[in-house]
Structure 1
Amino acid sequence: MNFHIYHVLLFLAVQTPLAYLSGCVSRDYNNGGTVCVCNGTYCDYIGDIPKVDYPKVLVYTSNMEGLRFQKTVASFQNISAELRDPADIVIESHRSYQKVFGFGGAFTDATGINVETLKDDAREHLMKSYFSKDGIQYNVGRVPIGGTDFSTKYYSYDDGEPDPSLKKFALDSADFDYKIPCIKVAQNLTHGKLKLFASAWTAPKWMKTNGAYHGGTIKPEMYEAWAKYYVKFFNEYKKNGIKFWGVTTGNEPSLAKFPLVLFQKLASVGWTANALAKWVAEALGPILHKSGYGDLNIMALDDQRFYLTWFMDRVFQNTTAKNYINGTAVHWYYDTLFPANLLSQLHYKYPDKFILATEACKGFFLSRGVKLGSWSRGEDYAQDIIEDMRNWVIGWIDWNMALNPAGGPTFLNNVVDAPIIVNGSANEFYKQPMYYAIGHFSKFVLRDSVRIESSQSSKVWSIAFKRPDQATTIVLLNRGKVDQDITIADAKKGLLTLTVSEHSVTTLLYW
């Protein structure tokens, strides 16, 4: 995305009122669901959420049959009904848990490349679909430090001959063409509410023990240079008007330590717990503070639940590292093998350290690539968000925000799926069920909402929050093949009865 095009898109994002139509233009690719098609002249938006007075309840539903954020209104019955009819779900707003940070996706090179293939009006629709008040209101973004497998090549910001003083450090053209322009548009659409955190996949080869972008570890004598590399990155982005909220200690060290054949060429830096703690304690933490970035939230791990809690136990044995680290970043891959209660175990051991889910995608392993319209993939997203947030996770960040129909570009052919698929040749993009699944949380569960106690039903997955505006939000997931009649009791409001359609995600909102 060159800067001329970026400024046009930024102007549109700030100045252009859209003529909103409500319905999804659906298309069926025979993958167990449908996509919603957007182009330069039309896109579906949920729009503003109106406030309703008691006893009314707003009900928004998306399902396999094609509903997308369909709004209906239900009503609470008198409080005495609670005693006559035991509820499936009981809301106890006086019992509260973690505060919500937010939801979002990653500003990968692939995301920017695909956004660029669209003409201005369609680009505007895509970015507004994610970040505007009429879209699903993403408010968190992950920014790669250098290249990833969803780039067009391996690269760092200081390639070539060894340069421990980092005199040759320079951002790549991908930052100026893809990442920075998209971030700037998102910043404007969120009116400055976008929180960014950075993650590095790999270091310059001369910093690493194996001299390669993939595998290996950081040479101990390069610990300080590797930390200063981060500072250089933050300085360069600051020059471009981009400030960061946080940083992780590096994407998936497991890729270097336990590489599956499928992923062994992915850019990576391996860490043992002791080595990571030493680097944070003696280099990253103090150098960030000394360089004016002491307010950054440092998140350790950035890897799978498999590492909970044994890896973090070892990291936190280094008390200096523990004092610098604000939280733990976790990924969703193989969550079916490692239960969500590992997250709660970590929280109860270290209640002063937050937990943030920092990467997820479908199509990464056995059923690889894009499945246009797959409703089950949307259900997987919704279930994982509920499981994570019932176990103290403060937010949930997706992987690529936009890919092409082949699941890329990815120079390593590591094709996966994404919530939005871009068909640049047709100047259109497709909102997948995953997009709507995330939206049932990101649109309604505002930053600084607090998770509140809600009993679990055998009929549906559920979770509840109290928002800063004192509204209560409940998200229901029905993965079953039949509709479910659900009763919800809130001692302060009464009893609510509704039918949750089969294979659906439903969000309730009431004041």
Structure 2
Amino acid sequence: MELKTVTAIIGIAWASVITTSAQKITMYSTTPTERWIEKKYSPDKSPVDQADIQVYTDSLLQDVIGFGGTFNELGWDALQCLSAEERDKVMASLFTENGTLFTLGRTPVGASDYAFGYYSYNDVKDDYTMRNFSIDRDRYILIPYIKEALKFRPDLKLWASPWTPPAWMKVNEHYSQKSSGIEGTDIGHNQLDPNRNVLGNVTGFKMQQGYLQAYALYFSKYIQAYRKNGVNIQMIMPQNEIAWTPCWPSCTWRPEDLAIFVTQYLGPQFEKDSIDTEIWVGTVNYPNPDYIRTFLKQKNAEKYVKGVGVQWTGMRALPTVHKEYPSYRYMQTENQCGNAENDWSALENTWKAVVHCFNNGVNSYMYWNMVLNETCKSAWDWAQNTLVIVDRNTRQVRYTDEYYLMKHLSRFVQPGSQMLRASDKENVLAFRNQDGKTVIVIYNPKEQEYSYNIKAGNKNFKVTLQAKSINTLVL
């Protein structure tokens, strides 16, 4: 071998050693008092006898679609008190790489509990042909909100679910299923006669052919109308919280009845109208896996259903249904909304839910309210948590602890990422992201700072995490 060839090979090898030793680990940290502090670490070349945390970089688990939040009327209303420039800053904080860089957006089909009030796209009783169908209200509220997000993230994947069908399609002919107020109170604004309350374990929809056909057509027209207005709904879940009867818009479905609607009416209607929007079963807020099992066992469910969405107590069914039905994709569809604590305790609760969900097979995780005003209240007087609070009186914008939690997760874990197996299943999540980097998210629950020995593949390093801190390491 010629001397110059040997010299070149040695040079390449030496350059490789220099590059490896010069590699840096970037860590971002957030505590209750400090936000998004960036530090650099160099990997330790000495072996670690006992790693506190081990990430198995060659053990790839489920693919990750990403994280997202929900569009609602009261959120858009809160943003209206800001100047266009300040409003853009808020939207950029949610949908650009300097913020949470959300991948997913959820929007209600008609009224949700964070709408101004009750409405549907067709309130004309027994209009089976949907002659009076109209999304005009959304053209002035929800669609502009969504388009502001699309301006920053054109590839945002959007999905939708109704809180209720039009009232005339329901057995009690009312938007709600319960006459009292929010849990444990007598607050309510729905004017529903208690004699017309619907029980939670029955179907609140009129299971008659005309109504089933009309409702399938309702979904088809919704998707087509949104597309004409520049918004592509890529996925539908036919009912929000199928097993709850609150005082706001709602409708319960037995799994057998929901399967009848999806497989005999909704799916065929989409085929007839050449609609490629995916249908998922959800959002399931029932902890017993038998609900999802029963639905998926029905004839043609597999033909039309592409995924499963779980919400709130529905997360408890994940360990079972994900193992029994591994071919479906799974989403946590609504982060538990709390009671407007908007503090570190809310972050801790959400972190536990995120860890549980990803360790049990979800591909995506949705936050609920992205933006609310200073009261954080719905039209039904439930004050809930949010990522961003806009004070309409002072026009000040506050980013809550949960906003930073979502940023620690979503900013670096985008479509094309995969989850990695990690030794700690309570305080660690790890991913190989879309750029091939290893992303480790660690929560230190201790009341004091703590140094962790970490082994990730062939890299060993020690990091000191602040007390009560959420941390993202990018290798």
1:201 alignment counterpart: 163
Q: Residues 293-442 of structure 1 correspond to what in structure 2 (within 5 A)?
A: 293=275, 295-304=276-285, 306-307=287-288, 309-332=289-312, 338=316, 342-363=317-338, 368=339, 370-372=340-342, 374-408=343-377, 410-442=378-410
Letter of the aligned partner of 1:371 in structure 2?
E
Instruction: Answer yes or no: is the 8 Å Cα contact 2:413–2:434 preserved in 1.
Output: no
Q: Distance in 1 between matches of 2:241 and 2:139?
A: 25
Instruction: Answer yes or no: is the 8 Å Cα contact 2:242–2:285 preserved in 1.
Output: no
Unaligned stretches of 5+ in structure 2?
1-18, 178-197, 199-203
Aligned pair 1:502/2:467, yes or no? Answer: yes
Q: CA deviation at 1:475?
A: 0.2
1:131 alignment counterpart: 95
Instruction: Answer yes or no: is the 8 Å Cα contact 2:453–2:460 preserved in 1.
Output: yes
Q: Distance in 2 between matches of 1:150 and 1:433?
A: 21
Aligned pair 1:225/2:214, yes or no? Answer: yes
Given the alignment, which residue of 279, 284, 309 partners 2:266? Answer: 284
Letter of the aligned partner of 1:449 in structure 2?
S
Q: CA deviation at 1:445?
A: 0.9
Letter of the aligned partner of 1:389 in structure 2?
F
Question: Matched residue of 1:488: which SS?
Answer: strand
Question: Matched residue of 1:254: which SS?
Answer: coil
Counting aligned pairs with the same residue, the percent is: 28
Q: CA deviation at 1:371?
A: 2.9
Instruction: Answer yes or no: is the 8 Å Cα contact 2:428–2:442 preserved in 1.
Output: yes
Aligned pair 1:109/2:73, yes or no? Answer: yes
Q: Distance in 1 between matches of 2:133 and 2:386?
A: 32
Give per-residue Cα distances to partners, 1:389-423, cap 9 Å, x unaligned.
11111111111111112113x22212212111111
Question: Matched residue of 2:39: which SS?
Answer: strand
Letter of the aligned partner of 2:88 in structure 1?
E
Instruction: Answer yes or no: is the 8 Å Cα contact 1:379–1:437 preserved in 2.
Output: no
Q: Distance in 1 between matches of 2:223 and 2:247?
A: 27
Indicate how the Cα distance of structure 1 residues 122 and 391 shifts in structure 2: closer, same or farther if over 3 A, else same: same
Question: Matched residue of 2:300: which SS?
Answer: helix
Give per-residue Cα distances to partners, 1:461-502, cap 9 Å, x unaligned.
00110012110000001222122211111233x211011111
Given the alignment, which residue of 482, 489, 493 partners 2:455? Answer: 489
Q: CA deviation at 1:241?
A: 0.8
Give per-residue Cα distances to partners, 1:52-89, cap 9 Å, x unaligned.
9853100000011x2211100112112x513xx21011
Q: CA deviation at 1:322?
A: 2.4
Q: CA deviation at 1:319?
A: 3.1
Q: CA deviation at 1:425?
A: 2.2
Unaligned stretches of 5+ in structure 1?
1-50
Give per-residue Cα distances to partners, 1:293-332, cap 9 Å, x unaligned.
1x3221112032514x211111111130222111111113
Letter of the aligned partner of 1:245 in structure 2?
Q
Question: Matched residue of 2:363: which SS?
Answer: strand
Question: Matched residue of 1:328: which SS?
Answer: strand
Letter of the aligned partner of 1:485 in structure 2?
S
Return the TM-score normalized by structure 1: 0.81
Matched pairs, number: 430
1:210 alignment counterpart: 172
Q: CA deviation at 1:214?
A: 1.4
Q: Distance in 1 between matches of 2:248 and 2:20?
A: 50
1:472 alignment counterpart: 438
Instruction: Answer yes or no: is the 8 Å Cα contact 1:122–1:428 preserved in 2.
Output: no
Give per-residue Cα distances to partners, 1:212-231, cap 9 Å, x unaligned.
11125221221111111011
Q: CA deviation at 1:451?
A: 0.3
Return the TM-score normalized by structure 2: 0.87
Letter of the aligned partner of 1:344 in structure 2?
P
Larger CA Rg, structure 1 vs 2: 2
